[in-house]
Structure 1
Amino acid sequence: MRWEDYRQSDNVEDRRGGGGEYAGLPGGRGGIGIGTMVVLGLLGWALGIDPRILIGGAEMIGGIGGRSAPTQEQRKSAGPPQDEMGKFISAVLAQNEDIWTKVLPQQANRKYVPPKLVLFSGVDRSGCGTAQSAMGPFYCPNDQRVYLDLSFFQEMQRKLGGGGDFAYAYVIGHEIGHHIQNLLGILPKVNELRQRLSERESNLLSVRVELQADCFAGVWAYNLQAMDRIEAGDIDEAMRTASAIGDDKLQQQGRGVVVPDSFTHGSSAQRTRWFNTGFKSGSMQSCDTFRTNQL
Structure 2
Amino acid sequence: MRWEFGRRSDNVEDRRGRNVAGPVAGGGIGVIVLALIASFLGIDPSVVLQPDTTVSDRPTSDAPRTTSPQEDKQADFVSVVLADTEDTWNDLFRQMGKTYVEPKLVLFSDVVDSGCGYAKSATGPFYCPADQKMYIDLSFYDDLQNRFQAPGDFAQAYVIAHEVGHHVQNLLGISDRVRALQSRVSEVEANQLSVRLELQADCFAGIWANNAQRTRQILEQGDIEEALNAASSIGDDRLQSQSRGYVVPESFTHGTSAQRVRWFKQGIQTGDPAQCNTFKTARL
TM-score, normalisation: structure 2: 0.85
Tell me the distance in 1 between the aligned counterparts of 2:234 and 2:210: 21
Task: Note the 1:144-293 alignment, pairs <5 A.
Answer: 144-226=132-214, 227-293=216-282
Query: Out of 44, 48, 62, which is 2:39 matched to?
Result: 44
- How big is the shift at 1:192? 1.7
What is the SS of the residue equivalent to 1:118?
strand
**Partners of 1:162 and 1:3 in 2: how far apart?**
19
What is the Cα deviation at residue 156 of structure 1? 1.4
**Aligned equivalent of 2:107, options 94, 97, 119:** 119
- Give SS of 1:83's match: helix
Q: Residue by residue, what CA displacement relative to the aligned partner does 1:67-108 show, whole Å, maximum 9, x if unpaired?
A: 568836449xxxxx98111100100000001111101221x3
Unaligned runs of 5+ in 1: 19-39, 76-80
Q: CA shift at 1:144, angstroms? A: 0.2
Aligned mates of 1:171, 1:90 — CA distance in 2: 13
2:6 corresponds to which residue? Answer: 6
Offset of 1:274 from its aligned partner? 0.2
Matched-pair contact (CA < 8 Å) for 1:222–1:278: yes
| Secondary structure, aligned partner of 2:192 | helix
1:92 is aligned to 2:87? no
Assess if the C-alpha contact under 8 Å between 2:71 and 2:138 holds in 1.
no
Equivalence map 1:25-64=2 (5 Å): 44-46=39-41, 51=45, 53-55=46-48
Q: TM-score, normalised by structure 1?
A: 0.82
Residues 219 and 284 in structure 1, CA contact (< 8 A), matched pair in contact too = yes
Q: How far 1:122 sits from its partner (Å)?
A: 0.3
Q: Distance in 2 between matches of 1:82 and 1:151?
A: 9
Q: SS where residue 13 of structure 1 aligns?
A: strand
Q: Which residue of 1 aligns with 2:92?
A: 103
Identity %: 55
Instruction: Check whether the contact 1:115–1:146 (CA below 8 A) recurs between aligned residues.
Output: yes
RMSD across aligned C-alpha pairs, in angstroms? 2.5
Q: Do 1:11 and 1:116's aligned partners in 2 also have CA atoms closer than 8 Å?
A: yes
Residues 213, 41 of structure 1: CA spacing in aligned structure 2 closer, same or farther, 3 A cutoff?
A: closer
* 1:253-288 Cα deviation digits (max 9, x unpaired): 011111111100000000000000010000000000
Determine if the alignment matches structure 1 residue 137 to structure 2 residue 132: no
Q: Counterpart amino acid of 1:16?
A: R
